Amino acid sequence: MKSTQLEHGKFQSSIFKLGKELGESGAEVFTRIDEDDSFRSKVADYMLRGAPEQVSSGGLTYRIAKAIIGEDKTIGPETALKHFGITPNQKDLARLLQMADQVPYLPETLSRHAKTHLLVWGIPVDLNEVCEKTKSFGIRWWLSDTESEALKMSTPTKGWYLINRGTSIFDLGSDERLATVMDAFYALSLHKLTNKRQIFLRNEYGVCNLTSEGEAVCFGLGEAFTRKYADGADGYWVKGDISTNKRITVVLPDNPIK
């Protein structure tokens, strides 16, 4: 029986109950279902399959996570492997993809951050490799030689993480930490490579950690620094000693996967 053939009361009752489950995001979800053909198809697909699918550790499968937060806001293992030219052997690739299929966030966490964050699969790649692939908007910095060397040795968070695409002026929540420069540069550079028209942090900058152990520094697109620090700046820049309460953060997993 088609849903449109249900008696009116049963149909309205189910819509009401679904709306209660969606909570404050209900209006937005129903609007997207009405206006976005692709989103509606994805919702219907995993409703028919009894989703959301949850992995044994309490997270979601990659397919469902991507449907919730949006394909254009997801940087998965296939993107990183493609742009960094990494070709693991079949055994290592199978293990990597198996790990990547376990996204350690709950549906409500992804829904809550869908408008503001990227869902990123991080791999241990160093700064020189990233810059080689992103020469047209490579990283620059005004830091001491010691700090620069620390940055060159840094790698992004391994595995899945959520990073905000803009900056937050609020204090860190209990489920957040400051992103490192490599977290931010890796995620936003790969996003820029795959989404040519979407450039975040264009006219603002935010505080990061230099490395996981390092001092706080500011990070953003060069245009954010142009008026104050340099003419014709482009690309992502890192600079120490800037006073700002805006922050680039990583949302920690709900269920860390061992």
Structural domain includes residue 108:
yes
Instruction: Report which residue type is found at 111.
Output: S
Range from 11-20, 49-58, 122-131 that averages highest in pLDDT: 122-131
Give the pLDDT confidence score for residue 117 in this predicted structure.
93
117-122 sheet: strands from edge to edge: 74-75, 117-122, 159-164, 249-251, 176-178
Establish if 76 belongs to a structural domain. Answer: yes
pLDDT category of residue 78 using cuts at 50, 70 and 90: confident
CA distances from 237 to 185, 187, 206 (A): 9, 14, 11
β-pairing verdict for 117-122 and 74-75? parallel
Q: Alpha carbon of 51 to those of 28, 43, 95: distances in Å?
A: 20, 9, 24
Mean pLDDT score, 231-247: 78
pLDDT at 230 over 70: no
Distance (Å, rounded) from C-alpha 167 to C-alpha 17?
A: 35
Kindly state whether residue 23 falls inside one of the protein's structural domains.
no
pLDDT per residue as tens digits for the range 15-36: 777 777 777 667 777 888 888 7
- With CA atoms as reference, report the closest residue to 68 among 103, 94, 92: 103
Helices 37-48 and 62-69: angle between axes, nearest 10 degrees: 140
pLDDT score recorded for residue 142: 81
Question: Which DSSP letter does residue 104 get?
Answer: -
Which pLDDT score is estimated for 100? Answer: 84
pLDDT given at position 25? 67
Mean pLDDT of 74-82: 86
pLDDT in tens, 149-192: 888 888 888 899 999 988 887 777 788 999 999 999 899 888 88
Distances (CA, A) of 14 to 6, 20, 50: 10, 10, 16
In 3D space, the residue among 181, 157, 151, 182 whose CA is nearest the CA of residue 251 turns out to be 157
136 located within any domain: yes
Give the SS3 label for residue 240. Answer: coil
Distance, in Å, from the CA atom of 38 to the CA atom of 22, rounded to the nearest integer, reads: 19
22 domain-assigned: no
pLDDT at 49 over 60: no
Number of domains, the chain? 1
Using the 8-state DSSP alphabet, how is residue 247 labeled? B
pLDDT of residue 235: 79
Residue 57, pLDDT score: 57
* CA–CA separation, 22 and 18 (whole Å): 6
Block residue for tokens 């991080």: 122
Q: What percent of the chain has pLDDT over 70?
A: 81
pLDDT at 50: 55
Q: In angstroms, what is the C-alpha Rg of the chain?
A: 20
Q: What angle do CA 159, 149, 152 make, to 5 degrees?
A: 30
Q: Are 54 and 60 in contact (CB under 8 A)?
A: yes
* Helix (H/G/I), strand (E/B), else coil: 76: coil
Q: What is the pLDDT of residue 16?
A: 78
The answer on pLDDT for 256 being more than 80 is no
Residue 235 lies in a domain: yes
Q: For residue 55, is it within any domain?
A: no
Res 60 pLDDT > 80: yes
Residue 149 belongs to domain spanning: 71-251
Torsion, Cα 180 155 61 22, to 10 degrees, reads: 10
Does residue 141 lie in a domain region? yes
- What is the C-alpha separation between 119 and 106, in angstroms, rounded? 13
